Structure 1
Amino acid sequence: MTTEDERKSRMARDVELLWGLDTTPARRGPKPRLSREAVVRAAIGVADAEGIEAVSMQRVARELGYTTMSLYRHVDSKEDMLVLMLDTATDGVPPAPREDGDWRAGLEEWCNGALEMHRAHPWSVFVAFSAPPSGPNGLRWMEAGLRELVASGLDVGESLQMLTILSAVVRDTVRLEIEMTRAAQSTGSTLVESENDYSQSLRRVVTAERFPTIDRMLREGVLGEAPAPGRTGGPAEELDFGIRRILDGIESYVRAERGTGG
């Protein structure tokens, strides 16, 4: 027979989990030495150091010096632990409302903040999403992004769609950068060196007649260009251009549909 808990959607389950609505009242007596927060922080430490693949209930328990069964008193499953890890890793402070009302600048700040959080915890882009933001940290960032999008003239539903797109662009670009960097490192190369090799290999098969635009790209040296000092040349470093073009589209849409200047 299916229980009420089993019938709950993952999204409803996440709200209860992230807001502590799933916990039973604390019993009287000494405070437990182990806590849910300690478990989650230890799991994040493992993921930051070794990647999300290294995270398991057994590994986190070993890191804390407890038995695996001890962890299950605080976190029901690895899936729950990943949900808790993601919200905890999103503990940066989202941009405050801008005094000048510049929603575009506000969204650029929002995207740059999300980018930095993913770079601080690279494993976060490899965790499958089971639900929209549900926890205190995730909702703070969601609120900040929606606030700026609504300020552009979009309605709340349109703003939610665009925030989903912006979040996906940032997350997937960071993931691509990480995967490309790992692939280059596996051969003892840098990302720029790997792109140079790719460019040289393409020159052997690309002709102006068959692939005219790719041929132009190669002739103009788009791939393998030396990055600016302190930069690696990864795709996330060029993210500003794409974000600004998305914001151009929002501004043009609002101007056409709402008859405003954004």
Structure 2
Amino acid sequence: MTREIELLWGLREPGRRGPKPKLNREGVVRAAVAVADAEGLEGVSMQRVARELGYTTMSLYRHVDSKEDLLVLMVDAAMAQDPPEPRADGDWRAGIQAWVSGCREMYRHHPWVVFAAVFGPPLGPNGLRWMEAGLRELVGAGLTTADAVQVLMTVSGVVRDTCRIELDMRRAAEAAGSTLAERERAHARSLGRVVTPERFPTIAAMLDDGVMTAADTAAPAAPTDDMSFSLERILDGVEVYVERQRRPEASAR
């Protein structure tokens, strides 16, 4: 991990003499993020970024050693938006909800990030700012730092995977020439042809309840618009756990 720290914090940039070059690492990363925003992660290559900048591919290697290093820098750059500030009222649940909203906004602005490989906790300056903000709220709830890390991993995983699922659904709908709402309704109709109360009683009840459909004038909620129930139950669990830890004699009964 030492190498990643040096890369993300600019500790490995060679010293230069003379005038500042027109092309620098920040410019390369900025251009790569723009390519990924427009074309997806699969569109990013050293050649493509160089073409975007109007330089040769070899020029990029003076600032970034490899595409792998470039992707590490891109992910941290995508998190440049400021995380939520500490709440004056100490409402940790509202703080986590704001943190989740910020993550969701970042993934929607840079959807390719959900497909970037994750090899561990964030190491870059922007990633660490977001990690600090999330842990701050959970520690404020009464969790130890170790427990707060576990909960933050769960919450961030839910947000990331839900955003990825939504993106996949939207891409599939666009490829079929339909909207997400139309695809949801078509999916429900298809299931209705094979699902019977005798074989799949719970799924049949779900279809009867209209969980996957909506009125023609309304669109079903996108997955990330409907995360509140899951998130609230996770936070309920944190609240109950903290309360039990404060009253060990009660939990022992």
TM-score by length of 1: 0.91
Match of 2:165 among 167, 176, 183: 176
Residues 66-75 or 191-200, more deviating: 191-200
The match for 1:99 is 88
TM-score by length of 2: 0.94
Partners of 1:146 and 1:163 within 8 A in 2: yes
Q: Deviations over 1:154-184 (max 9, x none)?
A: 1000101111111111111000000011111
The match for 2:221 is 233
Q: 1:100–1:44: structure 2 CA closer, same or farther, 3 Å change rule?
A: same
Match of 2:60 among 59, 65, 71: 71
Structure 1: 4+ residue segments shifted above 3 A: 226-229
Instruction: Please give the alpha-carbon distance, in whole angstroms, between the structure 2 residues aligned to 1:226 and 1:154.
Output: 43
Aligned residues with identical type, % of pairs: 61
* Amino acid paired to 1:152: A
Partners of 2:166 and 2:224 within 8 A in 1: yes
Match of 1:259 among 228, 231, 247: 247
Secondary structure of 2:199's counterpart equals: coil
Q: 1:131–1:114: structure 2 CA closer, same or farther, 3 Å change rule?
A: same
* Amino acid paired to 1:48: D
Question: Offset of 1:50 from its aligned partner?
Answer: 0.9
Secondary structure of 1:203's counterpart equals: helix
The match for 2:135 is 146
Residues 251-260 or 11-20, more deviating: 251-260
* Amino acid paired to 1:259: R
Question: Offset of 1:258 from its aligned partner?
Answer: 2.5
Question: Offset of 1:185 from its aligned partner?
Answer: 1.2
Partners of 1:192 and 1:226 within 8 A in 2: no
The match for 2:231 is 243
Question: Offset of 1:24 from its aligned partner?
Answer: 2.1
* Alignment root-mean-square deviation, CA: 1.6
Secondary structure of 1:32's counterpart equals: coil
Is residue 120 from structure 1 mapped to residue 109 from structure 2 by the alignment?
A: yes
Aligned length: 248
Partners of 1:42 and 1:64 within 8 A in 2: yes
- Structure 1, gaps ≥5 residues long: 1-10
Question: Offset of 1:78 from its aligned partner?
Answer: 0.5
Q: 1:143–1:134: structure 2 CA closer, same or farther, 3 Å change rule?
A: same
The match for 1:85 is 74
Instruction: Please give the alpha-carbon distance, in whole angstroms, between the structure 2 residues aligned to 1:205 and 1:83.
Output: 45
Secondary structure of 1:204's counterpart equals: helix
Question: Offset of 1:232 from its aligned partner?
Answer: 6.2
The match for 1:15 is 5
Instruction: Please give the alpha-carbon distance, in whole angstroms, between the structure 2 residues aligned to 1:15 and 1:115.
Output: 26
Is residue 59 from structure 1 mapped to residue 48 from structure 2 by the alignment?
A: yes
The match for 2:251 is none
Match of 1:194 among 167, 183, 199: 183
Instruction: Please give the alpha-carbon distance, in whole angstroms, between the structure 2 residues aligned to 1:81 and 1:214.
Output: 45
Is residue 24 from structure 1 mapped to residue 14 from structure 2 by the alignment?
A: yes
Q: 1:182–1:211: structure 2 CA closer, same or farther, 3 Å change rule?
A: same
Partners of 2:212 and 2:220 within 8 A in 1: no
Match of 2:151 among 162, 168, 178: 162
Question: Offset of 1:91 from its aligned partner?
Answer: 0.8
